[in-house]
Chains A and B, each alone.
Chain A
Amino acid sequence: MDTLARIKELAVKELALDLSKIDPAAPLDALDVDSLTFIEFIFKVEDEFGVKVSDEDLRKIKCLADLERHVAAALQAAGKA
């Protein structure tokens, strides 16, 4: 499964989102996810992929697609991708 699909699957489980309605480019507000809850979600994603998103990068993540790019980059840097 590709990275985005895994993130989406986690979003369905942890954020109770409807898979068919997840738009990776949609801002978090549109998904009805508040910023603190999203940071908690990012922690779950870190655990899932075994990577860390830096605090600096955290601030730049505005949607699931942003998150996917950071995770993919981190995986590549760690030689996991």
Chain B
Amino acid sequence: MAARRVAVTGIGVVSALGQSIPEFYRALAAARSGIRHLPESVAAGSGVQVGALIDWDPAAHFKAPEAASLDRVAQFALFAAGQALAAAKLDLQNADRTRIGVYWGTGMGGAGTLEAAYQTVYGKNDFRLRPLSVVMAMNNAAGSNIAVKWGLRGPFANFSTACSSSAMAIGEGMRAIQAGRADAVIAGGAEALLTPGMLAAWQALRTLAPADAADPAASCKPFDQKRAGLVLGEGAAALVLEEESKARARGAPVLALVTGYGNSCDAVHMSKPDRDGQVRAMKEALAESGRAPADIGYVNAHGTATVVGDVVECEAIRAIFGGHDVPVSSTKSMHGHLLGGAGALEMAAALMPFQEGVLPPTAHLANPDAACTVRHVTKAERGAMPRAVMSNSFAFGGSNVVLVAERAA
């Protein structure tokens, strides 16, 4: 039997850069940042100054009872998945939905629901909580809501490996299709933890960038000498993955092929990144794709803009690509760090060259740090036609996930 290859047939996004793929790609091409000052209602006393906060109106997407039963993270997930399904033109009514799965990723799950419950218990000494608290806060709620909404009864998995969660969901979703366990999968991830308590916890890590005094939108500066840490974001991204021959047989839009998935653990430290672990994940993804480093025409870096992390990743990229002048950018400079949703949103960004012929840049990279020497994309580069692209996701806990995708022939 010929190997089952995996096509991307639809993408959907919810981000501070827009809530559709065209809006998202337009913002990336223009190097427009969605990062801004956080209002007092969100930041409260946490001390966190900036974030990629989405102007989200649940009423625009859900009836009141449905919205009330969905944490913000699940609302993001459903809207992104709906876009991806629509783009894929998948005829769910006539599809065998026991062959369609959901592979989702999130770091914190229903953070807002959890925080509201704690406020009630500890803030008001009221122990009578909303009956839906558990099913709204649980980590698998976003993915399960996607399965329920569209009746997707195939394999289901939810990954929570911090910043690699949704990249892992895409990789494992690809595996499920390769292994013949599913013919299609909604794969992606979501995060919505811009809440006072969560922000306070992140602030305590001392890894968040303060607001850029001149321009808050420029607070996240990956690879720059003045980089001062990451900026948290929120949102979701979903990909429809399908077995290629079935997708082509139904005339689906084949946007790309996912051909490589590397997964390694540093097993060294909970928060400090490790070059060797990253190198192993990149090597594994390349080996599976059957591509040489020279075939990769764009790398969407993890690039969080932390002082240590960017240096280690650039060392790992140089170790893999050596003398090859592979263009690298971190789009987190614009959409912020979506944590559990980052891998999926950045996979959407990494596929941009295939759709638009444009390499998305690292915004606000005025003075690259010598320790971060790679071939930086500092402005959108048009006319790029890479054969293949790579997306890196490296997480607290030492989880490294690397995905390789190829242009659909």
A: which residues have CB within 8 A of B? 13-16, 36-37, 39-40, 43, 55
Judge whether B64 and A40 touch: CB under 8 Å.
no
Within 8 A of A (CB), among B36-89: 63-66, 68-69
* Residue in A15, A40, A43 with the greatest tally of chain B CB atoms within 10 Å: A40
B: which residues have CB within 8 A of A? 63-66, 68-69, 128, 130-132, 135
CB distance from A39 to the nearest CB of B (A): 4
Contacting residues, chain A, for B128 (C-beta < 8 A):
55
Judge whether B63 and A43 touch: CB under 8 Å.
no
Q: A15 CA to B68 CA in the complex, in Å?
A: 10
Judge whether A37 and B65 touch: CB under 8 Å.
yes
Judge whether A37 and B64 touch: CB under 8 Å.
no
Closest to A43 in B: B130
Contacting residues, chain B, for A37 (C-beta < 8 A):
65, 69, 132
Judge whether A39 and B131 touch: CB under 8 Å.
yes
Judge whether B132 and A16 touch: CB under 8 Å.
no
Judge whether A15 and B132 touch: CB under 8 Å.
no
Judge whether B63 and A16 touch: CB under 8 Å.
yes
Q: A21 CA to B182 CA in the complex, in Å?
A: 42
Judge whether B131 and A36 touch: CB under 8 Å.
yes
Judge whether B65 and A14 touch: CB under 8 Å.
yes
Contacting residues, chain A, for B63 (C-beta < 8 A):
16
Q: A13 CA to B68 CA in the complex, in Å?
A: 11
Q: A55 CA to B83 CA in the complex, in Å?
A: 42
Closest to A42 in B: B131
Q: A78 CA to B56 CA in the complex, in Å?
A: 39
Contacting residues, chain B, for A43 (C-beta < 8 A):
130
Judge whether B130 and A16 touch: CB under 8 Å.
no
CB distance from A33 to the nearest CB of B (A): 9
CB distance from A52 to the nearest CB of B (A): 9
Judge whether B64 and A36 touch: CB under 8 Å.
no
Judge whether B64 and A13 touch: CB under 8 Å.
yes
Enumerate 18 A-B pairs (CB-CB under 8 Å) in ascending A order.
A13-B64, A14-B64, A14-B65, A14-B68, A15-B65, A16-B63, A16-B64, A16-B65, A36-B131, A36-B132, A37-B65, A37-B69, A37-B132, A40-B68, A40-B130, A40-B131, A43-B130, A55-B128
